[in-house]
Every structure is written in C-alpha cells, then in structure tokens.
C-alpha cells in the first residue's frame, strides 16, 4: 500500500499520558535520558542556533529548531509565569519532527508533558557526570510543575531517594509530597532554602517568576555539592547569587544561548564554562574531586527536545498511541494543487 502522503502522526495529551503510563514514568525517564545522552555524544554534527524568542510584557514565545542532517525537529514553547493565575500552564509546548530529505513532517506531538520529562532527564544525565558519587540526598527548591519529574529522574538514574523540599508556597510542597508518596522517597518539607540544603549532596533549583531572585546565597553552598539550576532561564531571570557562580565549575548546554538566558548572564561574557557534551565524550573533565562545586546551568536546548521527539516517535510507532492528522495537501499530480481544489468542488457538486 502506498503511504498516505497527507497524513502526519499526532500524539495528543491523552495519548502522551497513556504512553508515559504504559512505559512507566521512571523507565520513560531512563530511556529518554539514554536518547539525550546519545545525542549529546554526537553534538558536533547538529545544526545549532539559539532559540528564536519573541518577548512581551507577559512572557515569551520561542521556537527551538535543530537537525542532525537526517531528521529535523523543532519545539514551540511559551513561558508565561502569570498564566497560573487563571488556571493555565506557565509552560506549554508542542513539537514536530520532519524528514530532512523531503521536508515532510513525520510527527506532531504535545510537548508540555514531554518537556517536563526531557528537562528532568537532561538534569539527571548531567548529574551522572557531575554529582558526587553515591549522592542520595537532594534539596528541591521550587515545588511546581517540574519538581516531581526532577525527583523521579534523579531517583531513576542516580538512586537519589531522600528529598528536602522548599517552596515559598507551602501548599506546593504538600502537593509534591502527595504526588511522590508511592515512589519510595524519604521526604522532608523545610521552612527555608537554608534548611533545605542541609546535608544535600545535590541542590536543584526550579523556581519561576523571579526577577534576579537569589534563591541560593553564597554561604548556603558548601564544598563538594552539585547544583542543578533549572529555573530562571530568561534574560533578567536568575536564581543564584553571582558569588556561587564564581566558586563553581560551570557546565552548560550551548554557550551562545546560556550566556543570554542562564545564570551566567550575571558573569562576564568570557567567563570560562564547559560544554556538557565534552564531558560526555571525554574531551573535557567533569567532577575532578570531592571538594569541587559543580553547577549545571541548565536552560534547555533544542537537541534535548530533538532527543525526546525521536524517542516518542519510536514509542508511538510501537504502541499505536497516535492519531492520523490530515495536515499535508496531497494532489494526485504534485504540480496540480489548484486542480485538487477543483476536483473537491466537483465531488461536492456530485454528492
């Protein structure tokens, strides 16, 4: 049978949830992390560009394209911190994969849930290379939509099973405890960021809606810890005091984007940073010693979405959890697009 050239497989929110539940969240995160790691290891062959952002007073809308030469992918994603006031998500997203040789889309999928999963998977992959060996305790500062995904990714990939939660809104921490109650964590809700970091080998910051907020101050960060700085990620939005950055070895995804959006926007534009992919391929050192402070200044890069889209494409092909979308005009004769309209009209008249 000839392929239906007009059809693009589409994964809606319902099917994405079914897929995640069928695979299991922790296994999904582990397998997705393997895709992310594989793509970081072939980093150099990707077409890379800082995301294309359209800023407004209320937030930002971004397009994040990349390609490995055979497959092209992009994500549409917004960031609107005030959205939660009227029941909307701060971040929503959808994404597309396309065949480079024809330009035809081969997958359209929701990416709100998928972005939460890929962000957490990427954090955990980075920590595999950067966190102290055997780390089991993580401070989780900011207990919003991303927090449970972070916790589960660190459990699945590193064996982190003790969480110290802090959020400016205690009900967010309670929600996080409730959602994680059946996943085997030992969880403590803390009254301040200072309290949360006590005894933690890994500190994950994942807050939003802060103008140059200082979630962590310098005196809170002891020797040897790994900081996973996930929140912020916008010009004018940071979470860490600049003094922490100066004491840390900083690892980033794509420097041209991180220097604009990440914690390091507070530093000089030539402040030394290490690209994470170099640590994975062995061309740069990750954690050297037990006293070193490592910092993953994560802003989220298009290649991580590409990995997530690749993974989902394989999984939906296997499970059939997709719909067929009539997205592409497909006239019988490709140069006869107008004739397709005329034939549709003739069919209407005949009916």
Q: Which residues are catalytic?
A: 233
Options 65, 231, 262, 300; binder of a copy of itself; rule CB under 8 A: 65
Question: Contacts from 23-31 at CB under 8 Å and sequence distance 24+?
Answer: 23/315, 25/117, 25/152, 26/152, 26/155, 26/156, 26/183, 27/156, 28/117, 29/117, 29/120, 29/121, 29/124, 29/149, 29/152, 29/153, 29/156, 29/157, 30/156, 30/157, 31/311
Q: Is 54 in the site for a copy of itself (CB under 8 A)?
A: yes
Residue whose CB is less far from a copy of itself, 175 or 278: 175
Among 30, 31, 34, 63, binds a copy of itself (CB under 8 A): 63
10 binds a copy of itself (CB under 8 A): yes
Residues within window 252-311 making contact with a copy of itself, judged by CB under 8 A: none
Q: State in angstroms the smallest separation of the CB of 20 from a copy of itself.
A: 6
Report whether 301 contacts 253 (CB < 8 A).
Answer: yes
Q: Please report where in the chains the tokens 């005329």 appear, as a residue.
A: 342
Specify the length of the chain in residues: 351
Beta strands in 111-254 (DSSP E): 137-141, 162-166, 186-189, 202-205, 226-229, 249-252
Q: Which residues are bridge partners to 323 per DSSP?
A: 10
Quick check: 246 binds a copy of itself (CB under 8 A)? no
* Residue 38 near a copy of itself by CB under 8 A: no
45 binds a copy of itself (CB under 8 A): no
- Interface map 174-193 toward a copy of itself (x if CB under 8 A): -x--xx--------------
Quick check: 49 binds a copy of itself (CB under 8 A)?
yes
Here's the x/- map for a copy of itself, 126-165, by CB under 8 A: it reads as: -----------------xxxxxxx----------------
Among positions 84-113, residues that touch a copy of itself (CB under 8 A) are 84, 87-90, 92, 94, 96, 98, 100-105, 110, 112-113
Asked if residue 51 lies in contact with residue 71, where contact means CB atoms within 8 angstroms, the answer is: no
Going by C-alpha positions, the residue among 24, 28, 75, 13 that lies closest to residue 49 is: 75
| 79 lies in the binding site for a copy of itself (CB under 8 A) | yes
Among 80, 118, 155, 287, binds a copy of itself (CB under 8 A): 80
d(Cα 142, Cα 134) in Å, to the nearest integer? 24
End-to-end CA distance of the chain: 27
78 binds a copy of itself, rule: CB under 8 A: yes
Q: Residue 10 CB, nearest distance to a copy of itself (Å)?
A: 8
Q: Does 340 bind a copy of itself (CB under 8 A)?
A: yes
Report yes or no: 289 and 279 within 8 Å, Cβ to Cβ.
no
CB of 344 to a copy of itself, least distance (A): 4
62-89 burial, b at 16+ Cβ within 10 Å, e below that, comes to bebbbbbeebbbbbebbbbbebeeeeee
Q: Does residue 211 bind a copy of itself (CB under 8 A)?
A: no
Residues binding a copy of itself: what is the number (CB under 8 A)? 82
């Amino acid at each position: 049978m000839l392929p239906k050239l007009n059809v693009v497989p589409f994964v809606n929110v319902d099917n994405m949830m079914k897929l995640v539940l069928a695979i299991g969240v922790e296994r999904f995160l582990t397998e997705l992390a393997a895709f992310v790691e594989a793509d970081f290891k072939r980093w150099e062959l990707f077409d890379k560009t800082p995301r294309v952002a359209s800023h407004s007073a209320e937030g930002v809308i971004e397009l994040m394209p990349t390609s490995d030469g055979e497959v092209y992918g992009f994500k549409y994603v917004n960031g609107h911190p005030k959205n939660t006031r009227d029941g909307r998500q701060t971040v929503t997203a959808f994404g597309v994969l396309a065949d480079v040789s024809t330009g035809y889309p081969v997958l359209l999928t929701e990416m709100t849930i998928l972005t939460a999963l890929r962000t957490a998977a990427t954090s955990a992959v980075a920590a595999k290379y950067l966190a102290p060996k055997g780390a089991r305790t993580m401070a989780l500062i900011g207990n919003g939509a991303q927090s449970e995904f972070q916790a589960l990714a660190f459990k699945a990939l590193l064996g982190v099973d003790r969480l110290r939660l802090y959020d400016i809104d205690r009900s967010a921490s309670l929600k996080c405890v409730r959602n994680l109650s059946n996943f085997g964590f030992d969880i403590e809700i803390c009254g301040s960021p200072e309290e949360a970091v006590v005894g933690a080998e890994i500190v994950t910051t994942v807050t939003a809606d802060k103008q140059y907020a200082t979630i962590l101050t310098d005196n809170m960060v002891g020797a040897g810890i790994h900081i996973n700085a996930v929140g912020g990620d916008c010009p004018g939005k940071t979470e860490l005091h600049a003094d922490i950055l100066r004491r840390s070895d900083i690892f980033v995804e794509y420097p041209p984007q991180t220097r604009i959006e990440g914690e390091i926007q507070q530093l000089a534009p030539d402040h030394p940073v290490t690209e994470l992919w170099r640590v994975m391929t062995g061309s740069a050192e990750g954690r050297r010693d037990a006293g070193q402070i490592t910092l993953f200044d994560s802003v989220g890069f298009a290649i991580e979405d590409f990995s997530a889209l690749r993974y989902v494409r394989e999984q939906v092909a296997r499970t059939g959890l997709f719909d067929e979308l009539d997205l592409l005009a497909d006239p019988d004769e490709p140069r006869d697009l107008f004739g397709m309209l005329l034939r549709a009209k003739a069919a209407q008249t005949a009916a």
